[in-house]
Amino acid sequence: MNLIPQHNNAAKTISSIVSELEQQFCLTLCFAMKNLQTGTVLQHNPHEPCKSASIIKLPILVHIAMAVYEGELNWYQPILLNEAEKVAGSGVLSQLCAGLELTLKDVCMLMTIVSDNTATNMLIELLGKSVVNQRMRKLGLQKTTLFRKAYSPDNEESKLFGLGVTTPDEMIRLLTLLHSSDHIPAAAAMSVVEFLKRQQCRDSIPRFLSDTWGYAGKTGALDSVRNDVAIVTSPEGVNYALAVFTQDIKEILWTPENAGELAIAHLAHILLNEFANL
């Protein structure tokens, strides 16, 4: 892995760009980006623990895909929607009738592409939290942790971060493992990426990119948080892992004009168009 030295002109430019975006949009920003062909990395505060919001659903999906590959789960096993798992926020299952039978694959799809919180809770009920966290430790992600179900009360462990915690560099590691099928079997990695390619929330990383760019990602949002992690593919076929986290957003705004989503979109456009060849 080639890391851009922190004292060179590129790093100074990145630092100034981040500072300008933080001032413009009144938030805190950290990120990591890796060229998956050359291994070159650009980053700013990549080890900073961040409120994951729905980004933590990607580790859940990775665990499930690996468990399917290992024969512990089956994509087509049935899961029943029950009233107790219904919660507010993103998604559609909370509006549907209890007793609906879905496949594991259906529930994972809803958790991923529309960030369905009820689907997420159904999966956490099925799996438990510990198996997801243990899987992340085995994959080398030491900080990434799922703390609780969506919209459940915080406890001592979760009160600082809510649903989960992660860092930009750990999400880059996870995306890199998916791309390279290193430590993650190719079949499992491919299934995860296919889910991510169907992502419906596209107001952050891909927002200002042309339609010739590919995007396979997962977003996360809270009142003061917007995050996006993705494998992004250039028109020339070069793949990048990009993880951007914005925290401490001052204005609560649940529209595409949210400051965090705009900051992520601007940063992604700059990184992928001006620094992608470093």
What is the full per-residue pLDDT of the chain (278 aa) written as tens digits?
344 444 455 666 899 999 999 999 999 999 999 999 999 999 999 999 999 999 999 999 999 999 999 999 999 999 999 998 999 898 999 999 999 999 999 999 999 999 999 999 999 999 999 999 999 999 999 999 999 999 999 988 899 999 999 999 999 999 999 999 889 999 999 999 999 999 999 999 999 999 999 999 999 999 999 999 999 999 999 999 999 999 999 999 999 999 999 999 999 999 998 887 76
Task: Write down the pLDDT at residue 12.
Answer: 65
- Closest Cα to residue 40, out of 11, 78, 81, 68? 11
CB 162 within 8 A of CB 53: yes
Whether the Cβ atoms of residue 257 and residue 264 lie closer than 8 Å to each other: no
> How many Å apart are CA 227 and CA 15, to the nearest integer?
19
CATH node for 48-200: 3.40.710.10
What is the pLDDT at residue 275? Answer: 81
pTM tops 0.75: yes
Rounded distance, CA 244 to CA 4, Å? 17
Q: Which amino acid is at 191?
A: S
pLDDT at 104: 98
Half-sphere exposure of 268 (CA within 13 A, CB side): 34
**φ, ψ for residue 165, nearest 5 deg:** -135, 150
Structure token pair of residue 264: 């992520």
The CATH 3.40.710.10 portion of the chain extends over 48-200
Percent helix, strand and coil across the chain, each rounded to 5?
40, 20, 40
